[in-house]
Structure 1
Amino acid sequence: MTDSLFLAPHELPARWLHRRVFTFVDTTSSAFLPLWQLWRDDDARCDRLHVVAIAPLDALDHPPSIDDAAPLAVELARAWPMRVPGVHRLEFDEGRVVLTLAIGDGVQAMLSKLWLRADAFQLAPSDDPSKLCKTLARFAGDGATVCIDSSADLHPAWRRALESSGFECLSAATDARLVARFAPRWRVRRHEPPLPCDPSTNTNTREAIVIGAGLAGCAVTSRLAARGWRVTLIDRHASPARDASGNPAGVFHPIVWRDDSVAARLTRAGFLYALRRWHALEASHHDLHRSGAGLLQIADSPGDADALAAAIARFAYPSDYVQPMTRADASRIAGVEVARGGWFFPRGGAISPAAVCAAQLADASLRITSRMRTEVTRIAHDGRVWRAFDASDSEIASAPVVVLANAHDAARLAGLYGEPTRGVRGQLSVLDRSALDALRMPVIGEGYAVPLGAHETLIGATYDIDDPDREIREAGHRENIARVAGMLPHLSLAPTHVRAGRVAFRCVTSDRVPMIGQFADERAARQDAHRLSGAWPLDLPRMPGLYGAFAFGSRGLVWAALAAELIASLVEGEPWPIERELAEAIDPARLLLKALRHGEIGLA
């Protein structure tokens, strides 16, 4: 099977010889395992193999058999994702083999939502060759090959579609298999598919600066280091995870709502990818202090509980993703009485943000240079590299790539349009020997309560916009207790002792969606404002090598790992780990783009 699939039509393994990345797109649901085996058997293989497989949702009902004698099939079966739509990224062989499963309704519809540069396509015949081939042309790299198994009577339509989209057909009309190569003689697409930021193949020159050593910065450092980058990690504190990432625990869970909104899809993608990264860290013997009993969300009202139960049934979410809960059921699994029903996330829970940061940095330690107690006051690009400077205007570090993961200060360093971020003060409280001692799992809703063990419960948190006060307030403790008592009413029946408190600051945007991706070149955009008045994100000029991952609000645990993988994929020119629509929703240039469309920006 390997010979017939790859050696002849795609000229493998010769075409990936000593390549850094090779990307293979498959709509047949049969290519990954033989391709993975071929890669393993080749000493001159590419450094990273990406296989992007597009399949319908019911394909997740049929994982490889765990009883299969082939060890790769067993490994794939163990990593098989839960049955929810979207993009699932699975990593094997220490991250050098990546399977991106794009799961949704219709191959053409799902493929068109992605963004990647492909070296080869293995296709099952579709009902609309013309539309599919235009999509292939948007993604094809130089010399990309296409192989389609189809009957001879379908060949004329496919040949016409391929040739009109810039492909040269290589097989005869009578062949059982149609083979073509991307060789356009005219411009067939508006935008080039993703390319690496630094096309150099010399791994010794692949260096980056990451500013900020919280959840975002540590995750980005980890994902770049895993790809062979050397990273200078800079933070103003004495050690990583000192701001909101230093809280005793944080909760993690997706969003379930009446419709499958962008926010719901984003948090689902982030949640599932974070679980995979944490599992990998735990498999490397890092203790992340992760709870294991699941997480319960209490509805705001009985009507909301009923509406969400209906939505869970309508979307046919699997029980290992989310389960509706009556009040009685929720009280039973929580171990304490709850005020209303809600929904239960079996894979949700609480985790130590600081432990996650420490584990990521430990795994990447050989490729990290840490510069703690160092504040970056400005960054500058000299046409080749970025330079970071301190308050005395001394250079801290230089590199072709900079990632701003420093929350509130990132927008200032990048000079983002419209002051897009705000600070939110959050005070949390630690209760000692309270009515919540019997709580078995984290509970969220109007507030949150997390059992810490030894008769301690973490509750919170206040949400004080634009409040810079770092002092702990008794009023804040009372507010936290009142919020949690609205979900867990027994908390209000007895005196409650607050043993400790902590204040941390979140960074949020006006649309409550994070900033993740490559920054726009705002000066160039202003100079070309008239032409860009109808622009899309891919039309915007971008700052070479400058990326951001910040403004996560209360969802740093859910978004940080996926943000890091997206940025590393952007830097390397790899397939994006989420649909392009979702990436555009979190694009740091989205507010600039909106202003350009509304004519709010003229010449600088």
Structure 2
Amino acid sequence: MTQDVIVLGAGIVGVSVALHLRQRGWQVTLVDRRAPGEATSFGNAGLIEASSVVPYAFPRDWGTVLKFAMNRSTALRYDLRSLPAYAPWLARFWWESAPKRLAAAAHDMLPLIRRSVAEHEALISRAGLADLVRPTGWLEAYRSREQFEREASAAERIASEHGLGMKVLDASTLHRLEASLDGGYAGAIHWTDPRSVIDPGALTKGYAALFEREGGRLLIGDAATLEPSGSGWRVMTASGPIEAQTAVVALGVWSGDLARRFGYRVPLMAKRGYHMHYESDGRAALSRPVVDIENGYVVAPMRRGLRLTTGVELACRSRPPSPVQLERAERIARPVFGLGARIDESPWLGLRPCTPDMRPVIGPADRHPGLWFAFGHAHHGLTLGPVTGRLVGELMNGEAGFTDPMPYRVGRF
């Protein structure tokens, strides 16, 4: 069994890479331990972004740092036993978050963010998945009037600079737009360009089904078995070993483990996050995702009910799930959003793969011909999956990439 390329990882990034390579005529086998879209791609807030042009950075004001250090925030929680493992990463993250370096990261990420919606829409049309996506944008909601007014002015500048659609909503206008919200907010910024997905896992599965319809092959296998074989690569699957001249590592946070085996020490750490679905208490339906800025959680309307997704938990992958952060967010969100009974048996836990310089790793491995990387998309994996697939497809096919890939090279670490 020989294929031109093996793509390791059937999350949104791996599936998108496989689709774009197949579209360019490559023989592609997509390999994962489980079905597509059942790991981190399953549990996000369902946002296809176009407005988050500035990456999530380490806070530089001491008030916020102190609040986080007390470990009582809903936006960020840390596991004390895990802090030694995170310390070098956090130090680099803090350094990269200085204003000039953050501006450079935003500049480097802009070409990907700018094309994110269009690249999704192309795949959504081909896959016939329009029923999963809503063009309603999302709301950035503020409880503090002072912070709302300050951030609204900043948002207007960003929107004007980048040509983004946005509206500033005072409390009464916000209530008219989303009648289900029971007070609590001084106002909101309505970013109108993003799309919201009512079932992110189903979207990834839909893209994978399109990949198979267009001649791609999907196999269950273990990416950890990847090894050089002659002038190419071999990996074990449930159907036996397969070989190809080229392999693409798109395993999310697990990509760092595999890259390290071949001598690439990428500082990739997980920002853990939880979600839970709730019944509505009977009030008017929420029509778009709402981000509670001060408390760092999102409530989004999904097929399964209202999905509450938490902020960031810094805890090693081996640490057991903790109910603390979700319970804190739930207490705050319940009266405002009308959260009813929990639907899921237990909270879902996902791992956002994050580099400290806030850029993904996209491109060829420096010292191993035929080995490529596509991982580290942090909070924007769903957003950036298809646009990453396009860039990888262009580069592997010898085409001129739509943007300079140098900012995403693995050799920067």
TM-score band (shorter)? 0.7 to 0.9
Which residue of structure 1 lines up, in the alignment, with residue 121 of structure 2? Answer: 279
Residues of 2 paired with 1:292 and 1:471: CA distance?
A: 37
Of the three residues 169, 175, 191, the one matched with 1:331 is 175
Residues 38-84 of structure 1: per-residue CA shift (max 9 Å, x gap): xxxxxxxxxxxxxxxxxxxxxxxxxxxxxxxxxxxxxxxxxxxxxxx
Structure of larger gyration radius = 1
Change (3 A) 1:406 1:436: farther
Change (3 A) 1:469 1:386: closer
Which residue of structure 2 lines up, in the alignment, with residue 228 of structure 1? Answer: 25
Deviation of 1:576 (Å): 1.7
Of the three residues 536, 540, 547, the one matched with 2:372 is 547
Residues 331-365 of structure 1: per-residue CA shift (max 9 Å, x gap): 33233235233321212242132233233223332
Change (3 A) 1:376 1:435: same
Give the conservation status (yes or no) of the 8 Å contact 1:427–1:504.
yes
Residues 511-533 of structure 1: per-residue CA shift (max 9 Å, x gap): 34322222222xxxxxxxxxxxx
Of the three residues 298, 309, 322, the one matched with 1:448 is 298
One-letter amino acid of the counterpart of residue 424, structure 1? K
Of the three residues 253, 265, 271, the one matched with 1:408 is 253
Which residue of structure 1 lines up, in the alignment, with residue 313 of structure 2? Answer: 464
Residues of 2 paired with 1:281 and 1:224: CA distance?
A: 13
Of the three residues 389, 392, 412, the one matched with 1:564 is 389
Residues of 2 paired with 1:211 and 1:510: CA distance?
A: 23
Deviation of 1:299 (Å): 4.5
Residues 190-226 of structure 1: per-residue CA shift (max 9 Å, x gap): xxxxxxxxxxxxxxx9811100001111000011011
Give the conservation status (yes or no) of the 8 Å contact 1:255–1:267.
no
Change (3 A) 1:457 1:215: same
Q: State the aligned residue count.
A: 353
Which residue of structure 2 lines up, in the alignment, with residue 62 of structure 1? Answer: none
Q: Indicate the SS of the match to 1:350.
A: strand
Deviation of 1:269 (Å): 3.5
Q: Do structure 1's residue 217 and structure 2's residue 14 form an aligned pair?
A: yes
One-letter amino acid of the counterpart of residue 235, structure 1? D
Kindly report which structure 2 residues correspond to 1:123-272, keeping only aligned pairs within 5 A, or say none.
207-237=4-34, 239-247=35-43, 250-253=46-49, 254-256=51-53, 261-265=103-107, 268-272=110-114
TM (normalized to structure 2)?
A: 0.74
Of the three residues 108, 117, 135, the one matched with 1:292 is 135
Kindly report which structure 2 residues correspond to 1:426-445, keeping only aligned pairs within 5 A, or say none.
426-434=273-281, 438-444=285-291, 445=293
RMSD of Structure 2 on Structure 1 (CA):
3.3
TM (normalized to structure 1)?
A: 0.52
Residues 492-537 of structure 1: per-residue CA shift (max 9 Å, x gap): xx7853222322222222334322222222xxxxxxxxxxxxxxxx
Kindly report which structure 2 residues correspond to 1:493-572, keeping only aligned pairs within 5 A, or say none.
496-500=340-344, 501-521=347-367, 543-572=368-397
Please list every run of 5 or more consecutive structure 1 residues that lacks an aligned counterpart in the other structure: 1-204, 522-542, 592-604
One-letter amino acid of the counterpart of residue 413, structure 1? L
Residues of 1 paired with 2:380 and 2:143: CA distance?
A: 19
Change (3 A) 1:333 1:469: farther
Residues of 1 paired with 2:26 and 2:176: CA distance?
A: 49
One-letter amino acid of the counterpart of residue 219, structure 2? R
One-letter amino acid of the counterpart of residue 275, structure 1? V
Deviation of 1:274 (Å): 3.0
Which structure has more relative contact order (CA 8 Å, sep 6+)? It is: 2
Aligned-residue identity in percent: 22
Deviation of 1:279 (Å): 2.2
Deviation of 1:246 (Å): 2.0
Of the three residues 142, 166, 189, the one matched with 1:322 is 166
Residues 565-596 of structure 1: per-residue CA shift (max 9 Å, x gap): 11111111212222x3xx333322221xxxxx
Please list every run of 5 or more consecutive structure 2 residues that lacks an aligned counterpart in the other structure: 55-98
Which residue of structure 2 lines up, in the alignment, with residue 585 of structure 1? Answer: 407
Q: Indicate the SS of the match to 1:556.
A: helix
One-letter amino acid of the counterpart of residue 314, structure 2? I
Residues 357-412 of structure 1: per-residue CA shift (max 9 Å, x gap): 2332233324312211x112243335621222479xx9722112111011233222
Residues of 1 paired with 2:339 and 2:205: CA distance?
A: 37
One-letter amino acid of the counterpart of residue 504, structure 1? G
Residues 522-565 of structure 1: per-residue CA shift (max 9 Å, x gap): xxxxxxxxxxxxxxxxxxxxx32211111222211111111111
One-letter amino acid of the counterpart of residue 117, structure 2? L
Whichever structure has more helix as a proportion of its residues is 2
Change (3 A) 1:442 1:314: closer
Residues of 1 paired with 2:315 and 2:210: CA distance?
A: 36
Which residue of structure 1 lines up, in the alignment, with residue 235 of structure 2? Answer: 388
Give the conservation status (yes or no) of the 8 Å contact 1:515–1:550.
yes
